[in-house]
Amino acid sequence: MNARTDVGRMMEGQVVTPKRQLAMVFDLNKCLGCHTCSISCKRQWTREEGMEHQWWAVVNTMPGKGTPKDWEGMGGGWNAEGEPNPSRIPLRDEYGDAWQFNKQEVFHGGKGVETYLAPTNPDGSKPGWGPNWDEDEGGGEYPNSHFFYLPRICNHCTHPACLEACPRGAIYKRDEDGIVLINDKQCKGFRFCMEACPYKRIYYNHVRDISQKCIFCFPRVEKGVAPACARQCPGRLRFVGYLDDENGPIHKLVHQWKVALPLHGEYGTQPNVYYVPPLSPPRVDANGKVDPSKPRIPLDYLESLFGPRVAEVLEVIKAEKEKKARGEASELMDTLIVYKWPEDIFPDFTVDPAEL
Amino acid sequence: MLVRRTDAIDALADPGAAGWGAIAAETVKLMPAPAAMQPTRYIATKWRDQAYGAVASLDVQGVHDGATIAFRLRWRDSAKNAVRFENTDFPDAAALLFPLAADAPLFMGAPGQPVNLWYWRADFPERARSDVASGIGSSRVVDDTAITARAAHDGEFWSVVLRRALKVQANAAESVQLEPGQRLRTTFAVWEGGNLERAGIKAFAPQWVELAIEA
């Protein structure tokens, strides 16, 4: 009944790691912000009562306040000394609630010319935020305004703060693939996990009185099917595989080419979702002249997200891109391009779910 | 504390019933469950410098009629928290704990030394859960129909009456079995939902209360 294991826990100064770890790499240079990932996840997993407001996979416009609003400033995770950082439970409206619309009034009430379609939170209040509230706002001033998309899911961390915070041992990390799951029979809805997760990717289901989050589509993965968000991604930017598979794209991008970086590694949880940081066009100076020495997206901003190696990674990508443009071979570019789908992007998870 | 025998237990189903005025109440002193006893570092760190478990005492009364036992718990709480919808909603709650093994520790039992909890929470005011636990973080629901409840909040106090058959057949080994003439121990906890109290963040009675069920 109580499935408490040591995997993912700090034991005698060492985090107990799983036998294998599944990971994803998101190539931010390919994300078009279409939200097909979010929708495919929503349709697959979060359609039940109590889950209306849950979006296990989101796409945030960056720079932006994200989902939930201002999650980056909320704390959680581990500090430099390895102690837990206190945080708080974000509110429904901060995540973005399950809005209701006055469709009856607008479409059937004869008031179509006097009123307009407007969202209302389930408690009757006016929404102050939503899961995609600041889409495409971005940062910077014209002509140097800029944005990019940041898809986010549970990071299935190596040292999950949620797992260690739960007083019931209801959260566990699977030894065979490192997927972090909440046992909904063991969970009592205490929500310490929602506080402890620094990425704020856990939701509360008030109907079942439990916490819920991304499950890395484990029932699909167990049958060789890629997670829904990855398989449905039109941009083909979500790589899936085992970190230790030296022939797979994950190992190549994270360990061999070292171009995929964790988001907010300083949170200390060792996330297993990695990002290829975005290149951007050059800045335009006060005279309207292009200054090719500076990228449109400020480097210090990208470093605030992905750490100190961003510049180095962007140089590697640029150099390999130029090689490819000259007609030379580039293993890195070939890996990122994904010529053959699905075998090049999630080689171990190519089964078509329609065939099962 | 004496659990008095009565032949009019149904007249005491309502926590506001006048009959409760004639039943002696035991005032049980409560204290915050210590940070050092919190099961995870996150909880201990988060609550280290925050006040909790402020409910200082609980008035307890008990009656039985040979078949059914009823306890009335009454504690001061001027803010009623009974709704659970917002992510930060934690309803007020209270619990009784009975050892199922002679030496079961008072703080949630231990492996091989289980305890039975009667857990009432304001979002389900008309029933209490029967849980069994063998250590901190191990509680699980045995039954949520055997214990019925009625609760009232008068703006200043919660009054809750919990009722159960003295003996239960279903899940018998995981439920405390009671009979007239029996002496046993119990203890109590109260959670102030408005202060986000849940799990081990609570006020609890650090000593056993001796119960004597009148023959």
CA-CA-CA-CA torsion for B196, B197, B198, B201, nearest 10 degrees? 140
Q: How confident is the model at residue A1 (pLDDT cuts 50, 70, 90)?
A: very low
Parent domain of B47: 2-17+24-213
- Give the one of B40, B85, B196 whose C-beta lies nearest to A165's C-beta: B40
Gyration radius from chain B CA atoms: 16
Contact between A64 and A271 (Cβ < 8 Å): no
Q: How confident is the model at residue A60 (pLDDT cuts 50, 70, 90)?
A: very high
Contact between A179 and A216 (Cβ < 8 Å): yes
Summarize pLDDT for A249-295 with one digit per residue, the tens: 999 999 999 999 999 999 999 999 999 999 999 999 989 999 999 99
What whole-number distance in Å separates Cα of residue A164 and Cα of residue B137? 12
Are the Cβ atoms of B87 and A91 closer than 8 angstroms? yes
Are the Cβ atoms of B43 and A83 closer than 8 angstroms? no
- Report yes or no: B40 at the A interface, CB cutoff 8 Å: yes
Are the Cβ atoms of B87 and A90 closer than 8 angstroms? yes
Can you tell me the mean pLDDT for A136-141? 96
Q: Which residues of A touch B46 (CB under 8 A)?
A: 84, 86-87, 192, 195
What whole-number distance in Å separates Cα of residue B89 and Cα of residue B195? 10
Can you tell me the mean pLDDT for A80-103? 97
What whole-number distance in Å separates Cα of residue B103 and Cα of residue A333? 67
What whole-number distance in Å separates Cα of residue B48 and Cα of residue A100? 40
Can you tell me the mean pLDDT for A303-313? 98
What whole-number distance in Å separates Cα of residue A128 and Cα of residue B153? 33
Q: Would you tell me how many other CB atoms lie within 10 Å of the CB of residue B151?
A: 22
Question: Is pLDDT above 70 for A3?
Answer: no
Tokens linked to B175 = 């439920």
- Identify the CATH number of the domain in which residue B88 sits: 2.60.40.1190
Per domain, the residue ranges of chain A are 10-96+131-351
Determine if the peptide bond prior to A63 is cis (ω within 30°).
Answer: yes
Identity at B29, one-letter amino acid code: K
For chain A, the average pLDDT equals 96
Residues 6+ apart with CB under 8 A from A268: A77, A78, A79, A80, A82, A159, A161, A198
- Report yes or no: A190 at the B interface, CB cutoff 8 Å: yes
What whole-number distance in Å separates Cα of residue B81 and Cα of residue B35? 24
Residues 6+ apart with CB under 8 A from B37: B107, B136, B200
What whole-number distance in Å separates Cα of residue B128 and Cα of residue B140? 13
Can you tell me the mean pLDDT for B190-204? 97
Place of tokens 């595989």: A241
Give A282: exposed, middle or buried? Use CB within 10 Å, 0-12, 13-18, 19+: middle
- Report yes or no: A68 at the B interface, CB cutoff 8 Å: no
Q: Locate the chain A residue with the closest alpha carbon to B83.
A: A206
Q: Would you tell me how many other CB atoms lie within 10 Å of the CB of residue A116?
A: 10
Are the Cβ atoms of A167 and B140 closer than 8 angstroms? no
Are the Cβ atoms of B136 and A167 closer than 8 angstroms? yes
Question: Is pLDDT above 80 for A214?
Answer: yes
Contact between A42 and A53 (Cβ < 8 Å): no
Can you tell me the mean pLDDT for A97-114? 90
Please report, for residues A37, A54, A58, A232, the alpha-carbon distance to residue A41 in angstroms, rounded to integers and kept in the order given. Answer: 6, 10, 9, 9
Contact between A273 and A283 (Cβ < 8 Å): no
What whole-number distance in Å separates Cα of residue B150 and Cα of residue B148? 7
pLDDT above 70 as % of chain A:
99
Q: Which residue has the higher pLDDT, B41 or A109?
A: B41
For chain B, the average pLDDT equals 96
Can you tell me the mean pLDDT for B199-212? 97
DSSP, res B145? E
Summarize pLDDT for B106-162 with one digit per residue, the tens: 989 999 999 999 999 999 999 999 999 999 989 999 998 999 999 999 999 999 999
ipTM comes to: 0.96
Q: Which of A91, A186, A204 to mutate to test the interface with B (most CBs of B within 10 A)?
A: A204
The pLDDT score that the predictor gives to residue A211 is 98
Candidate from A107-111, A141-145, B195-199 with smallest mean pLDDT: A107-111
State the total domains in chain B.
1
Q: How confident is the model at residue A110 (pLDDT cuts 50, 70, 90)?
A: confident
Tokens linked to B115 = 């305890």
Place of tokens 């007083």: A167
Q: Which residue has the higher pLDDT, A60 or A110?
A: A60
What whole-number distance in Å separates Cα of residue A69 and Cα of residue A152? 14
Please report, for residues B30, B60, B135, B153, the alpha-carbon distance to residue B57 in angstroms, rounded to integers and kept in the order given. Answer: 5, 10, 24, 16
Can you tell me the mean pLDDT for A35-55? 98
Summarize pLDDT for A153-206 with one digit per residue, the tens: 999 999 999 999 999 999 999 999 999 999 999 999 999 999 999 999 999 999
Contact between B136 and A167 (Cβ < 8 Å): yes
What whole-number distance in Å separates Cα of residue B165 and Cα of residue B152? 22
Q: How far is A93 from chain B (nearest CA, A)?
A: 9
Q: How far is B205 from chain A (nearest CA, A)?
A: 20
What whole-number distance in Å separates Cα of residue B119 and Cα of residue B96? 7
Looking at chain A, which runs of residues are DSSP E strands?
10-11, 14-15, 22-27, 58-62, 100-101, 119-120, 148-152, 171-173, 180-182, 202-205, 210-213, 238-242, 261-262, 273-276, 282-284, 290-295
The pLDDT score that the predictor gives to residue A2 is 42
Can you tell me the mean pLDDT for A32-42? 98
Q: Are strands B183-191 and B209-213 parallel, antiparallel or unpaired?
A: antiparallel
Q: How confident is the model at residue B36 (pLDDT cuts 50, 70, 90)?
A: confident
Are the Cβ atoms of A92 and B137 closer than 8 angstroms? no
The CATH code of domain A10-96+131-351 reads: 3.30.70.20
Summarize pLDDT for B164-185 with one digit per residue, the tens: 999 999 999 999 999 999 999 9
Within the 43-72 window of chain B, which residues sit less than 8 Å (CB to CB) from chain A? Answer: 43, 45-46
The pLDDT score that the predictor gives to residue A75 is 98
